[in-house]
Amino acid sequence: MKANEIAARFPCDNLTVGENGHLFFAGQDTTALAAQYGTPLYLLDETRIRKNCRTYKAAFKACYPEGSLPLYAGKANAFKQIYRIMAQEDMGIDVVSCGEIYTAKCAGFDMRKAFFHGNNKTDADVAFAMDAGVGVFVADNPEEVLAIEAEAAKRGATQKVILRLTPGIDTHTYAAVNTGKVDSKFGNAIATGQAESITKLALAQEHIALLGYHCHIGSQVFTEDVFERAAVIMIEFMAEMRRKLGFTATLLNLGGGYGVRYTADDPVLDIGEKIASVSETLKATCARADFPVPQICMEPGRSIVADAGLTLYTVGALKQITGYKNYVSIDGGMPDNPRFALYRSSYTCLCANRIAEDCSLTASLVGRCCESGDIIQENVPFPADIQRGDIVAVCTTGAYNYSMASNYNRLPRPATVMLTDSGSYIAVKRETFEDLVRLDV
């Protein structure tokens, strides 16, 4: 296979072909990494993570008021080293559980730059987050506003809060990740009057400092103008609350959701250009509404870590059912990547140790679980004689793979190895069988 034909299949520019015919990721031989660390194996390109952070930071500095901040959405991939990198890159963070709060705090992250999400924070969650020094709560409902007030009152403290609203926007992405519609489980709908109601409630609390609002409209957004539309709706609502209630919001969090390339057919997205477009709409809307431009937050998660990730597997078997279909089985599967089972997600899958060879076999790439739905991808091109011991790479797995991994079928979760310009290091150890029974009694 010619070099340009191979490269045409790559969704990310940190993939290359080595002179030895192996797939290289972040400048390193994936076949050698598989031999060194074993498979299944999560790889993360640390340089790419930092580059993606700096893209957001530069765009924010150029487009938004001072004090605006991109927040890394830890649900995409959370472990201590990720939070250390976010601290070094001067990012804020979006946390959605006490587990993420604990992990970030253990990593030494400044929790004043943490925003705490969730549609059902328990009283224990609220207390834990305040103990940890979380800077801003993103309150999802009236019950939570009252719980925050009660806990802050106990402490004689004032807690910064923003309110999550639903602007009523359909992103035309997966229904499971479309969160901005009026009937979403998240937030308070503007259209129904509930957004105004919760604003009044929050303003009435003695121990809550209401800063502004939050919305999130969905994930894998490419060409749609949903961020611009959301900005218009949110600013117009903020201006209305200023007229009605005398409340001038100083912070608007537009959430996350920019798309990433899982296959070569996906669009190439320029984050800087997209943020500039949102900024233009935001400022024009503020001018029309005679409303001061607020500080802006956004919550990139997938677009920070997805294309920095790649997962390696070892082939166990090739099953050919004459006249029907073919299966290539690997030593991982839905426990380490459940996204095809959940969303029918597309992935680029490559034979890493034979990347330069012609691929005349089409097969389903399937996992080792006792589950018919344990599929990583359908209709994958492979060398005709792919065999036991070959290495398969699944690209763009830095987001929602490790963070959604399970021990289904009692399988240990893979290690995560960070790749740098100077080499590689283990960031998350491979689970052992002892780990599987550690909590058993």
Catalytic residues: 370
8-state DSSP, 9: T
- What the block records as the tokens of 103 is 């992990």
Q: Is 232 helix (H, G, I), strand (E, B) or coil?
A: helix
Q: How far is CA 374 from CA 98, 177, 311, 370, 404, in A?
A: 30, 21, 16, 8, 15
- 400-419 as b/e: b if 16+ CB within 10 A: bbbbbbeebeebbbbbbbbb
211: number of CA atoms within 13 Å, CB side? 22
Sign of CA dihedral 380, 386, 387, 393: negative
Cα 172–Cα 176–Cα 178 angle in degrees, nearest 5: 40
Cross-strand bridge partners of residue 428: 416
Nearest to 415 by CA among 431, 438, 432, 399: 431
Residues 212 and 249: beta-carbon distance below 8 Å: yes
Radius of gyration from C-alpha coordinates of the chain: 23
> Which residue, among 418, 425, 428, has the nearest Cα to 305 in the 3D structure?
418
- Taking each helix axis from N to C terminus, what angle separates 46-63 and 271-289, rounded to the nearest 10 degrees? 30
In sequence order, the 6+-apart residues with CB closer than 8 A to the CB of 77 are 44, 301, 305, 309, 398, 399, 400, 401, 402, 403
Helix extents (H) in 64-171: 80-88, 98-106, 123-132, 142-155
- Per-residue DSSP letter, 309: E
Q: How far is CA 190 from the centre of its chain?
A: 26
